[in-house]
Structure 1
Amino acid sequence: MAGETGKESTSRVTEEMKATISEEVGKTLEASLPQFIDRLQTTLLAVIEMNEKKNAGKSKACPYNKFMACKPPLYHGEVDPIVCQRWISDIEGVFERTHCDETDFVAYGTGQLRGQAKDWWDNLKKEQGIEATRIMTWEEFKTPFLRHHSPKAVINRIKEEFIQLRHNGESIEKITGIFLDKIRFCDELVQTEEQKIYYYYNMPSAKYREFMTPSKYGHLTEIVNAAREREIELKKQIERGERRVFDKNPIPVKKQKLNEAPKKGVDKGGIPPCKICGKNHKGECYFKNKPCPTCGKVGHVVANSPGKVSVCYKCYKSGHKKSECPELEGTKDTTDTKPDAQKARARSFNMTAAEAKTEPDVVSEFQHEFYLIRVQIDLLYHIDLFNTLHSR
């Protein structure tokens, strides 16, 4: 009995000790709990701040709507190295501004392909597989993209155009833009600033180059600004009337011959043809009060004279022209029946005075004298007309 009583007392003491210890520990924890929470919170904030500092230099994730808010450019599949590489540069600029993840470059970039470019991308996905294109990096995408849309043959043509680039009437701003677009593909030709200045100097026309010295420029911008200043000065000279404006593709004007009669109904500079001489001129006509050598009357020239006598150069008779000569009426039928006959070569014959009297085809003395008078009249008219034109 005594042993059992000892065990009970021992267990009772143990329970009392446990309760006392629990009570004291509870009081201690309750008193130190705010301090513990503060230390825990300080530790967590320190860990978060440390992680933020470690990830400060890394790119942040960018959702697709944030990427589209920057209005990335579209590409329609032009096989043009200038357009193609400009799109690559612009889309990479959007990636940088939006802190886009590198794993999203291909997915976001290919979403801006349209037309033939979209067809090319769909065909590439079929060739390489959807899984392969899904894990494709941006550099892996650019290799086949540039090979298709920026071929070497087109780049070589751009290099040839760059060497032969000349000023053809465009503004300095436009020609400078073309120069900068093409120079990106000529790294092996243009490696220094001096070479850039040399090629740019050979581009403008002589009216620009005569005021520019390549050796005094140290940067491309300096010679470009000099060309701009010269262009402004040329425009001012044109406005002041000190320089003529030359057309880029002037229409050639056919000069009228000295003795050529003017075409009827055609005005020259808005001036109607003169009713007396038929020419297009201003002021009073020179032939207005000058008598006609044929009829002696004024108000017309020899060509418009009512008393003008037509002389046939076939039979040398007056009253008709050679085309209306009755002697040719019989020969017209024979010539029409032989359209393919070759024309006879011209020949000359020498005749004596006795043979001329008996020959019926020889012109009579009267007709010969009349013909000489006619020739002299025409000659005087042309001489007078020639002197009149030169005196003006």
Structure 2
Amino acid sequence: MNAKPTSFDDTGGVISLTQWFEKIESIFEICSCSEANKVKFAACTFTNRAMTWWNSRVKSLTQPVANAIGWESLKELMLPEYCPRGEMQKLEHELWNLKIKGSDIVAYTSRFEDLALLCPGMVTPESKKIERYSWGLTPPTQGNVLATRQITFDSAKCLV
């Protein structure tokens, strides 16, 4: 807890949850947190409604079973609880229709990366991510990205 992890309280929707996942995973890495301790550590950061939600899981499963579910399983349990399907559909729609505004490639790329993180099914595998990214670019730039047949998203975004 000396790493001062961000608490999670169920406010802010999918973006807040995703940022919390990223922050907690960063702390796991820095602290060399074992897989067996990740859920226990994460649960210590829950507050308000999230704590109530977790405590109800613990009561139905028992503490040892709840702590043993694994980090990826905890994330899978949290997603439907804190990311309503309607909110996810709005983000997917935004990603599908995302276009560059004017010549602000930095803003476009930043928003694309945020949405890609939130909607991984729409940009997996990497080739699909590059294709989706290029669709929002202006036609000449789009053609350049597609013609070079980049293998990674990072290499594709460096072209623009």
Which residue pairs with 2:147 in the alignment? 215
Between the two proteins, what is the percent identity of the paired residues?
Answer: 20
TM-score norm. by structure 2 comes to 0.72
CA gap 1:159/1:133 in 2 versus in 1, 3 angstroms: same
Return the match for 1:133 from 47, 63, 70.
63
Which residue pairs with 2:51 in the alignment? 118
CA distances 1:5-56 after superposition (whole Å, capped 9, x unpaired): xxxxxxxxxxxxxxxxxxxxxxxxxxxxxxxxxxxxxxxxxxxxxxxxxxxx
Which residue pairs with 1:179 in the alignment? 112
1:60-71 map, 5 Å: 68-71=1-4
Partner-residue secondary structure (3-state), 1:74: coil
Which residue pairs with 1:159 in the alignment? 92
Give 1:145's aligned amino acid: M
Q: CA deviation at 1:182?
A: 1.9
Q: CA deviation at 1:193?
A: 3.8
1:189-228 map, 5 Å: 189-204=122-137, 206=138, 209-212=139-142, 213=144, 214-218=146-150, 219-227=152-160
CA distance in 2, matches of 1:143, 1:201: 30
CA gap 1:111/1:199 in 2 versus in 1, 3 angstroms: same
Q: CA deviation at 1:86?
A: 3.5
CA distance in 1, matches of 2:123, 2:79: 22
CA distances 1:132-161 after superposition (whole Å, capped 9, x unpaired): 034422435334322201333332332222
CA gap 1:118/1:170 in 2 versus in 1, 3 angstroms: farther
CA gap 1:90/1:203 in 2 versus in 1, 3 angstroms: same
Return the match for 1:81 from 14, 19, 23.
14
Greater fraction helix: 2
Instruction: State whether structure 2 residue 117 is matched by structure 1 residue 150.
Output: no
Partner-residue secondary structure (3-state), 1:145: helix
Structure number with bigger Rg: 1
CA distance in 2, matches of 1:104, 1:186: 26
Which residue pairs with 1:168 in the alignment? 101
Give 2:20's aligned amino acid: W
CA distances 1:45-83 after superposition (whole Å, capped 9, x unpaired): xxxxxxxxxxxxxxxxxxxxxxx2223222231363343
CA distances 1:278-302 after superposition (whole Å, capped 9, x unpaired): xxxxxxxxxxxxxxxxxxxxxxxxx
If asked which structure has higher relative contact order (CA below 8 Å, sep 6+), I would say: 2
8 Å CA contact retained: 1:105, 1:138 = no
Q: How many residues align?
A: 153
CA gap 1:89/1:143 in 2 versus in 1, 3 angstroms: same
8 Å CA contact retained: 1:79, 1:149 = no
Partner-residue secondary structure (3-state), 1:112: coil
Structure 2, unaligned stretches of length 5 or more?
Answer: none
1:268-307 map, 5 Å: none
Partner-residue secondary structure (3-state), 1:210: helix
CA gap 1:146/1:105 in 2 versus in 1, 3 angstroms: same
Q: CA deviation at 1:123?
A: 4.1
CA gap 1:98/1:216 in 2 versus in 1, 3 angstroms: same
